[in-house]
Amino acid sequence: NAGVTQTPKFQVLKTGQSMTLQCAQDMNHNSMYWYRQDPGMGLRLIYYSASEGTTDKGEVPNGYNVSRLNKREFSLRLESAAPSQTSVYFCASRSQAGREKLFFGSGTQLSVL
Amino acid sequence: LAKTTQPISMDSYEGQEVNITCSHNNIATNDYITWYQQFPSQGPRFIIQGYKTKVTNEVASLFIPADRKSSTLSLPRVSLSDTAVYYCLVGDEGSARQLTFGSGTQLTVLP
């Protein structure tokens, strides 16, 4: 039972490079989320998708784009990476119905040099 | 969105009961209170959720007063493995609205 799977687990980029972080869930959840966590800090919401075909900005969307490819997959793209985007990125999902909890992936450690 | 306030850190000793309080003065009628636990290099995981009064599961208890402006997570007889960051989250779990985490409480359990 995989749950929420994120790839890659680690990535090093140079300033200005682009990359896409992948996230997939196998729990048939409607809602998916991207968070970033800086050292010693809490999680900050970047973007979320309430359902397939919809995306909305969170607290810190600047410098990122997202795609809800289908119900299972929600990707996060950095078009031109900056050192300020060095962080750990977490993907999460939950069912839209009822009082459902968030399920998190294991995270992607991203360093931008 | 209801803003939450928690202590930044707490220390405890093994075997003690630990209570972590979260303030959420502008909680809305439809909001639930959910607590998550996060170990280093891992994503947060669900601990407990409640709406009012008291909720207990195999891991923790959650106490919510009648005015719901605060909540207290209670961990009985903590062990070293309970050392983690604990987050209080307040939101309308019935919708897919964005869920915002606060800074969390770093609990350190000492031998």
Residues of A in contact with B45 (CB under 8 A): 104
Are B43 and A44 inside 8 Å of each other by CB?
Answer: no
Q: How would residue A62 be classed by pLDDT, with cut points 50, 70 and 90?
A: very high
Q: How would residue A88 be classed by pLDDT, with cut points 50, 70 and 90?
A: very high
Can you tell me the mean pLDDT for A22-49? 91
3-state secondary structure of A16: coil
Residue A39 pLDDT = 84
Query: How far apart, in whole angstroms, are the C-alpha atoms of residue A6 and residue B75?
Result: 31
Residue B2 pLDDT = 63
Number of C-beta neighbours around residue A61 at 10 A:
16
Length of chain B in residues, anyone?
Answer: 111
Strand partners, B88: B35
Q: Which B positions 84-103 lie with beta carbon below 8 A of chain A?
A: 85, 87, 93-103
**pLDDT reading at B1 higher than 70:** no
Query: How far apart, in whole angstroms, are the C-alpha atoms of residue B84 and residue B109?
Result: 9
Residues of B in contact with A101 (CB under 8 A): 34, 46, 49
Torsion, Cα of A69, A100, A43, B87 (10° steps): -170
Percentage of residues of chain A with pLDDT beyond 90: 75
* Cα–Cα nearest to A13, from A61, A89, A90, A82: A82
Are B103 and A51 inside 8 Å of each other by CB?
Answer: no
